Amino acid sequence: MGGDLGVRAATGAALVALILASIWWGPTSYGGLLLLLVVLGAREFESAWRKAKPSTHPLSRWVLAVVVLTVPAVSLAHMAGIGQVYDSLIPIGWFVLMWTNDTGAYLAGRTFGRHKLAPRISPGKTWEGLDGILCAVLVSLLGPPGDLAESWLKRKAGIKDSGHILPGHGGVLDRFDSHFFAAPIAAFVLMFF
């Protein structure tokens, strides 16, 4: 178990560095990363859906996979202002919230035997602070349904992980499932605040 935790930590640190660097370097690298996540995730989704529902037409599996993954990816791009004025701080804050939430749930689940999603947030006194609070609430409320949807698909497919591209973490879907519902809603809320 200790070796698995070390691999998981190393892979997680590399993934965090890759995501933060791609966001920081600008819209082209961040957009490229999001596109890569859609392509890799769609491949995993199609494979799992094929195992779960073998009678489904291959084209409909691919269309469903692309739609399910493109909506959160476009939402994540929108948060950064891709196509307008690019701001790296909003997506960096989003990912930090997601990671904090996921890590907190993982540690609470391992320590107490159940998953608690209660990230600590300082109340903001500005509208910008309100954006962070709203995103944090959305992460806490809408992250678990994405995780549950991906878990349901894996259970129906009879697989433990959606893929093996991230040692210790599984596949792209295993790492980014919390974004499925939370990112589109958060992007929508951020448009109005």
Task: Please state the pTM of the whole predicted model.
Answer: 0.77
Distance between CA 12 and CA 15 in Å, rounded?
5
Average pLDDT over residues 26-35: 95
Average pLDDT over residues 149-157: 83
Most confident of the following: 61-65, 106-110, 125-129 = 61-65
pLDDT band at 127 (very low <50, low <70, confident <90, very high): very low
Distance between CA 177 and CA 148 in Å, rounded?
8
Q: Under a CB-based contact definition with an 8 Å cutoff, are residues 69 and 42 in contact?
A: yes
Give the model confidence (pLDDT) of 154-193 as tens digits. Answer: 888 888 888 888 887 888 888 888 888 888 888 887 777 6
Q: E strands within the chain?
A: none
115: left (phi over 0), alpha (psi -120 to 50) or beta: beta
For position 112, what pLDDT does the model report? 53
For position 159, what pLDDT does the model report? 86
- C-alpha distances in Å from residue 138, one per residue of 55, 133, 150, 155, 180: 35, 9, 18, 26, 12
For position 109, what pLDDT does the model report? 54
Q: Other CB atoms closer than 10 Å to residue 51's CB: what's the count?
A: 14
pLDDT band at 132 (very low <50, low <70, confident <90, very high): low
Q: E strands within 48-166?
A: none
Distance between CA 39 and CA 62 in Å, rounded?
10
Average pLDDT over residues 116-126: 36
Q: Under a CB-based contact definition with an 8 Å cutoff, are residues 181 and 146 in contact?
A: yes
Give the model confidence (pLDDT) of 77-93 as tens digits. Answer: 998 886 678 989 989 98
Q: CA-based Rg of the chain, rounded to a whole angstrom?
A: 17
Nearest to 146 by CA among 180, 188, 108: 180
